[in-house]
Structure 1
Amino acid sequence: MTWLRALGGTARAGVTIERTRLEPLVALRAAAGVATVVGLALWLVSPAYAASAAFGAFSAGTATFQRSWRPRKLIALGAGGSLALSTFLGYLAAGRTVTFVLLLALWAFVAGMSWAVGSTAGIVAAGTVAIMLVTVTLPTSVEQALEHAAVIAFGGVVQAALIVVFPIRRWGAHRDALADAFAAVADYARRLRHDPTAPFDPEAMMQARKAATLTPSQARRRPGFLHGPRGLAERVRPAVAALADPRVGAPAEGPQRDRARALLKATADILDAAARSIRRGTRAQVPPDVLEVLGTAPDDEVLRGPARQAAVQLTRLLHEVLATAHSGDTHARPGAAGEKSDPGLLVRPAMHRLAPVVLRTMRRELHRDSPVFRHAVRLAAVASLGWLLGTVLPLGHGYWAPIASVMVMRPDFHQTYARAVGRFAGTLVGVALATGVVQLAHPDAGLSGALAVLSAGLTYLLMRTGYMASQCFTAAYVVFLLGMGGETWHQTVRDRVTLTLVGGALAMLAYLLFPAWETPRLRDRLADHLAANGMYAAAVIEGFADPGGGHRANVRRQLLASREANAAWDESFGRAKKEPVRHRGLTRGEAEDAEEALRSVGRAAMLLETHLPESGAPPVPGAARFAEALTADTAKAARDVRERRNPDWRRVEEALEEWERADGGEDPVVRRGAELLVSALEDLATAVSRTPLEQDVESSRREREEQAESEEAERREEARRTKDRPRDAG
């Protein structure tokens, strides 16, 4: 992608309004928290303290809207505490420019590194940098700094208390994640009716697993209904795929295909009903004709062979789904998934045990090639430079430049540039609206506080509709808040618009000078994707070689690793397509072909997983040799992809030939699945392989580049020696 197209794409993304489900009650509760602390501070103390308290309550409320599976009240408390700490430390260092700049750079660097933990931590940490820049201008003594820090923390406490007192959709995010998983499988079953080899996006399954990873406290309180259904959705997915695929399931045409389509439609309807039941907390409502299809499926004489086997398994799973959904027990007593009663619980560290995990995660990112490390360096440099620049420029409120930079910067190019555009556009509109209101109404401190609370509520309401929309009312909120503190509108509008533009430009320039492009890492991501999918397929084949060997746990582990690698590849490739740089060793077309081939590998392994034998079944001849060859060739092929060599699947092909000779073609499912695997692996090799001519051209190009670099180095050295040589006095 060219720079012009990339910048145009980021500009459009920055001003795009997204259609999403609003949460008016949650927004109203968060706005009530801001109103509570502003009102109390105005009544009991002063407008300056009300501004500090409002900053804390607003930021803590904003933090609760970030995607996280921890309780929102803990996020509010954590945000309020970290905001208070940054305010106090910032004031202690604010007396000397050098000391404050060093503290600001260190704090911003740590905030940037917190992206290693996740986006929620990164966004909350960026807010602490912004609050350090603003509130250090309010206190005039250490005692006042402590008081301002306390009222900021109080804002977080109020938000947490409101979440406890007025809960809205308890476990709502977890319910939605589980419901989305069922809805994703339902959509998959519906698409399989028309496209038997349709792809499945595992993102909803991954989010459901993350939602099911609980702290010990959450495990004791989780409703019983959220405990088991996720496993059912996981098992239904390969069953519907095996039934629909004409290579290992129902034939492409004829009565079996018609019966398979009817069962797939019933599956989709049942899973949709289960999703609604989970999301709304009500009993599932399934049409009678759907239940009739499900009731006749076990005695169905139309389906035969592997298709019948898949249909029987699918029917059994759907009965389990109905038994769970019909109970309507979405408000079951807590403790059903407690730690002691559920040894398979997915455990998340409690907040007080999180520090060592965070430090280890950050330490792993402390290297030059890490996007998180490079983001932290950029953030530290831009925050410090922006603050110094804001103090030098003949404008008031110079902290707006570094605040704009800090709040828009992200570890990747597209989000940073899009948010910079969105922030400037939103700020321009928001300041213009707020300015008009101030000029017409001339509000006092009380009315300014009320307008600030209204703006905060609209920010919360539009938080997920696009960055520009939320920033519009955030800008208005700040103007009203500063007006409440006694600053007139003309002291903030022009300065803030100009400095916001400066801050956005600094953020863009920083990424340009010290980028973290995703494009050069595509081959590594592709190699990881290949390794994970190959090991998943090998684990499934091993289950046929040794049915009593307990391979199902290994299959599950490799499946999860495959999903993580697939998600990493999708994210990396999605970012790379928006970057104005090219990969010299992997074109976009090659990457798309390789991605399609790897999806076929994963699909073939999934189809085989459906037919894994139970313990005690006889081993499948040739499976052990094939699994061993697949494991070895996968490891070598991953290295080849990283090092730009052509992958070779010779051992896998030879093992398949031996397998065919060993069982005489009597296995209609397992060996057919192995053939699909080999075909997909060959497609992958074709996608990333280069002809000898292309390899020679690449080698010649590298030699020319190395020679040019050597000659350039010699010229620079000669120029340096000429410059350093003493001139003739004559």
Structure 2
Amino acid sequence: MSKGRAGWLSWPYASEVGAVLLATLAAVAVALQIGPPGSALAAGASAAIVGATALKDSPQGRWRLTAAASLAMGGAVLLGWLASPHSVVFVLVAGLWSLCSGMAWALGSNVGLVSAATTALLVASPTWGSPLDALIAAALAFCAGMLQTVIVVITPRPQRQQRSDALADGYRLVVADARRLAADPGAELDHGPLIALRQKFTLTEHQLRRRPLAFRGLYAIPERIGMTLNALRPVADTPAGGATLRAAANVLETIAEDPPGAREEARAALGSLDSAIDELPGPAGPTGRRLRRQVIEAAALHFTGSHRPRPEIREVVRAQLNLASPILRHGLRLVAAVTAATAAARITGVHDGYWIAVTVLLVLRPETAHTYTRCTTRLAGVLGGMLLGTGITLLIHPTGIIAGILAVAFVAVAYAVAGIGYVPLTAAVATAIVFLVDIDGAAPTLSLGTRIVAVLVGGVLAIASHVLLPDRAQVRLQQRSAELLKAEIDYVATVIRAFAHHLDDRETVLSAVWTRAVRARSAFEAAGGGIRADTPEMRHWLSAYRAALNTLTSTGATLEAQLPTVRTENLDLRFVVAVDDYVDALRGETPTAGQPWRVDARHLAEADAQMRECATYLDRQESAQRVLLGELEAITRVLLAVAQTGS
């Protein structure tokens, strides 16, 4: 796949983006008509940020996140406008809010980015206004965000309804297969419709990388359950086997039909499934437990939108309250930099002083790798976007709805370049900020030089905060090791997937993932240069880790050498399902910011067992796939060893 095509595919649905942009423009227009000066910035920024949040690909629960984001936007505007006339109070409020914003990264990168946006909205508050103006501006910001929630999340979308109906049909097929197998163990199960479900919605390589595992699992789980049902065929004629199949069918039927009280019905059916699985004969026990985990995963995805239990927010945040935590250190860096930036803006009295704090917020992230490089490149993006926006402002002096249209246009550009990299994305966002801030009319003393200095000072503060409060060496090593392992796994996973699917531009794709792995290795070696393995635990971990890396590299090279002989035209679809599930298990989920990536040992072990079961579906002429099965055993063994060491 070409780079341009990949960038195009990374856009969300064009119709939804168009609706979000139009709603943002409508929010700006309404604020210009009924709100006090400065409220159009609040409404437009809130609509843009909440709209982007609503467009995030997620299986369920988006309305809660967007509603919370709308409330946070309104709260930031209210607090910022009320405190803004009092400089000392404003600086303290900005510092406290930025600390909360930094700690919000513990809940995920989406929450962290939204929190950073609310902080930017707070520090850009005007230095005038009454409490009534603050209430009106906050209400407009909240309503603008809720408008996006209604448009994107609550309003039914034909594609989303089509997906929901197709998923329900997939579960109905599994229900029918389970009951058919319970009645007749010799019945033939047709997995074709289940496989077609995932092929239709989530099977492209780009979608596999872009969508979270929970979203992909939403459409992959029916076929995985179908494969496990087939593995239970030998015990289907036993009382325990038949009861297991019928109980699983009852749970899945509840999920598919979703009647009132579905959650309670599913919980009762799961209890029956547990009892039946406990009675299965010994050899079928592991397969029955795998079916139980898959059915529980299907229920969790349907009812909660996540295949894992959601920890309490306070527990997540409390876990980061130690000086070794990258999240806490990011929060402290953000407090220091934003407080200094806001104080400098108030002391100097420069109209464009808010650009110091805004730049800090656009540049700083809770990262432990290539920190200075990434900060510098983001700073270049902010500076370029500010120069472009300010240059246009100086030339044509757009105000009012014209400035709003330009701001929305550059939000559209941000969506367009999101798949290219964070530098053009940051530049587009910075340009949109220029037009939103100047929407009520640029200050008479508008100076390009002042803004350049403000942006550069903000960048210096961001980089200096990393210099003065760096992450601990041990934490950096853990992060680098996890990133290197993930990069190596991505390379191997790409090769493995080519054994079941034709890979367009194979050489280009493999070269790209291998280059990322080489860069990750360089970062790991740099981070590990000053670390001494002077404890048995560290030596044991490094031994298992390097063994895994060596195995992945050699296995990837062996499998890549087999690719010219791979033929995928006549593969059994059940083998294709097993390969796809193994690749998903290898890649795992994107880790929360500040947390190292970890191997999903349970999913990997299940996928490996399924691969061994599917070996019987290979023909003799499919020799390359047989080589693959042999190599996967080594991959699974070393990765499970790494998982046991707690890497």
TM superposition shift of 1:362 = 0.5
TM superposition shift of 1:455 = 1.8
2:400 to 441, 445, 462: 445
Question: How does the TM-score come out when normalised to structure 1?
Answer: 0.51
Does 1:458 find its partner at 2:413? Answer: yes
TM superposition shift of 1:146 = 1.1
Does 1:339 find its partner at 2:263? Answer: yes
Q: Quote the residue 1:162 is aligned against.
A: 151
TM superposition shift of 1:279 = 4.6
Flag the 1:99–1:415 CA change in 2: closer, same or farther, 3 A: farther
Tell me the amino acid that sits aligned with residue 143 of structure 2: F
2:432 to 449, 465, 477: 477
* Rounded Cα–Cα distance in structure 2 between residues aligned with 1:465 and 1:678: 32
* Rounded Cα–Cα distance in structure 2 between residues aligned with 1:127 and 1:483: 18
TM superposition shift of 1:133 = 0.5
* SS in structure 2 of the partner of residue 577 of structure 1: helix
Tell me the amino acid that sits aligned with residue 73 of structure 2: L
TM superposition shift of 1:85 = 0.9
Q: Quote the residue 1:130 is aligned against.
A: 120
TM superposition shift of 1:392 = 3.5
TM superposition shift of 1:89 = 2.1
* Rounded Cα–Cα distance in structure 2 between residues aligned with 1:68 and 1:496: 38
Q: Quote the residue 1:387 is aligned against.
A: 342
Q: Quote the residue 2:471 is aligned against.
A: 516
Does 1:44 find its partner at 2:40? Answer: no
Tell me the amino acid that sits aligned with residue 111 of structure 1: S
Tell me the amino acid that sits aligned with residue 388 of structure 1: A
Flag the 1:415–1:153 CA change in 2: closer, same or farther, 3 A: farther
- Kept in 2: contact 1:604–1:677 (CA 8 A): no
* Rounded Cα–Cα distance in structure 2 between residues aligned with 1:143 and 1:604: 60
Flag the 1:67–1:573 CA change in 2: closer, same or farther, 3 A: farther
Flag the 1:519–1:141 CA change in 2: closer, same or farther, 3 A: same
2:366 to 402, 411, 428: 411
* Rounded Cα–Cα distance in structure 1 between residues aligned with 2:56 and 2:526: 26
TM superposition shift of 1:438 = 3.3
Q: Quote the residue 1:224 is aligned against.
A: 168
Map of 1:522-541 to 2, 5 A cutoff? 522=477
* Rounded Cα–Cα distance in structure 2 between residues aligned with 1:71 and 1:21: 21
TM superposition shift of 1:510 = 1.2
1:523-549 CA-partner distances (Å, limit 9, x unpaired): 79989x99xxxxxxxxxxxxxxxxxxx
* Rounded Cα–Cα distance in structure 1 between residues aligned with 2:432 and 2:548: 49
Map of 1:225-304 to 2, 5 A cutoff? 225=169, 273-279=196-202
Q: Quote the residue 1:433 is aligned against.
A: 388
Q: Quote the residue 2:65 is aligned against.
A: 75
Does 1:577 find its partner at 2:524? Answer: yes
* Rounded Cα–Cα distance in structure 1 between residues aligned with 2:54 and 2:373: 23
TM superposition shift of 1:437 = 3.3
* Rounded Cα–Cα distance in structure 1 between residues aligned with 2:378 and 2:640: 45
Tell me the amino acid that sits aligned with residue 491 of structure 1: L
1:110 to 100, 122, 135: 100
Deviates more, 1:482-491 or 1:72-81: 482-491
2:318 to 319, 340, 363: 363
TM superposition shift of 1:131 = 1.1
* Rounded Cα–Cα distance in structure 1 between residues aligned with 2:349 and 2:26: 37
* Rounded Cα–Cα distance in structure 1 between residues aligned with 2:525 and 2:349: 37
Q: Quote the residue 2:454 is aligned against.
A: 499
- Kept in 2: contact 1:56–1:156 (CA 8 A): yes
TM superposition shift of 1:70 = 4.2
2:379 to 398, 406, 424: 424
* SS in structure 2 of the partner of residue 484 of structure 1: coil
* Rounded Cα–Cα distance in structure 2 between residues aligned with 1:592 and 1:162: 50
* SS in structure 2 of the partner of residue 512 of structure 1: helix
Tell me the amino acid that sits aligned with residue 477 of structure 1: A
The gaps in structure 2 that reach 5 residues or longer are: 1-5, 176-189, 204-226, 235-252, 268-295, 486-516, 556-598, 614-629
TM superposition shift of 1:21 = 2.2
Please tell me whether Structure 1 or Structure 2 has the larger radius of gyration of its CA atoms: 1
1:545-586 CA-partner distances (Å, limit 9, x unpaired): xxxxxxxxxxxxxxxxxxxxxxxxx9x977953865623327
Q: Quote the residue 1:184 is aligned against.
A: none
- Kept in 2: contact 1:452–1:478 (CA 8 A): yes
* Rounded Cα–Cα distance in structure 1 between residues aligned with 2:357 and 2:470: 19
- Kept in 2: contact 1:390–1:401 (CA 8 A): yes
Flag the 1:493–1:336 CA change in 2: closer, same or farther, 3 A: farther
* Rounded Cα–Cα distance in structure 2 between residues aligned with 1:368 and 1:92: 33
Tell me the amino acid that sits aligned with residue 11 of structure 2: L
Q: Quote the residue 1:26 is aligned against.
A: 16
Q: Quote the residue 1:55 is aligned against.
A: 45
* Rounded Cα–Cα distance in structure 2 between residues aligned with 1:446 and 1:678: 58
* SS in structure 2 of the partner of residue 126 of structure 1: helix
* Rounded Cα–Cα distance in structure 2 between residues aligned with 1:376 and 1:394: 26
* Rounded Cα–Cα distance in structure 2 between residues aligned with 1:142 and 1:580: 51
TM superposition shift of 1:123 = 1.2
- Kept in 2: contact 1:598–1:684 (CA 8 A): no
1:419-471 CA-partner distances (Å, limit 9, x unpaired): 53343322333333334433443434232222222222222333343222222
TM superposition shift of 1:35 = 0.8
* Rounded Cα–Cα distance in structure 1 between residues aligned with 2:170 and 2:457: 48
Q: Quote the residue 2:135 is aligned against.
A: 146
1:181-211 CA-partner distances (Å, limit 9, x unpaired): xxxxxxxxxxxxxxxxxxxxxxxxxxxxxxx
Flag the 1:496–1:467 CA change in 2: closer, same or farther, 3 A: farther
* Rounded Cα–Cα distance in structure 2 between residues aligned with 1:22 and 1:444: 29
Tell me the amino acid that sits aligned with residue 436 of structure 2: L
Flag the 1:115–1:677 CA change in 2: closer, same or farther, 3 A: same
- Kept in 2: contact 1:139–1:145 (CA 8 A): no
* Rounded Cα–Cα distance in structure 2 between residues aligned with 1:76 and 1:678: 40
* Rounded Cα–Cα distance in structure 1 between residues aligned with 2:335 and 2:171: 43
* Rounded Cα–Cα distance in structure 2 between residues aligned with 1:592 and 1:156: 48
* SS in structure 1 of the partner of residue 470 of structure 2: coil
- Kept in 2: contact 1:223–1:335 (CA 8 A): no
- Kept in 2: contact 1:445–1:486 (CA 8 A): yes
TM superposition shift of 1:68 = 4.6
Identity of aligned residues (%): 25
Tell me the amino acid that sits aligned with residue 147 of structure 1: I
* Rounded Cα–Cα distance in structure 1 between residues aligned with 2:57 and 2:527: 29
- Kept in 2: contact 1:54–1:152 (CA 8 A): yes
Flag the 1:110–1:480 CA change in 2: closer, same or farther, 3 A: closer
Flag the 1:440–1:522 CA change in 2: closer, same or farther, 3 A: closer
Flag the 1:592–1:499 CA change in 2: closer, same or farther, 3 A: farther
* Rounded Cα–Cα distance in structure 2 between residues aligned with 1:503 and 1:103: 19
* Rounded Cα–Cα distance in structure 1 between residues aligned with 2:549 and 2:130: 60
* SS in structure 2 of the partner of residue 397 of structure 1: coil
Tell me the amino acid that sits aligned with residue 275 of structure 1: R
* Rounded Cα–Cα distance in structure 2 between residues aligned with 1:438 and 1:486: 10
Flag the 1:578–1:138 CA change in 2: closer, same or farther, 3 A: farther
* Rounded Cα–Cα distance in structure 1 between residues aligned with 2:347 and 2:66: 35
* Rounded Cα–Cα distance in structure 2 between residues aligned with 1:403 and 1:62: 19
TM superposition shift of 1:27 = 2.1
* Rounded Cα–Cα distance in structure 2 between residues aligned with 1:683 and 1:86: 45
* SS in structure 2 of the partner of residue 366 of structure 1: coil
| RMSD across aligned positions (CA) | 5.1
TM superposition shift of 1:62 = 3.0
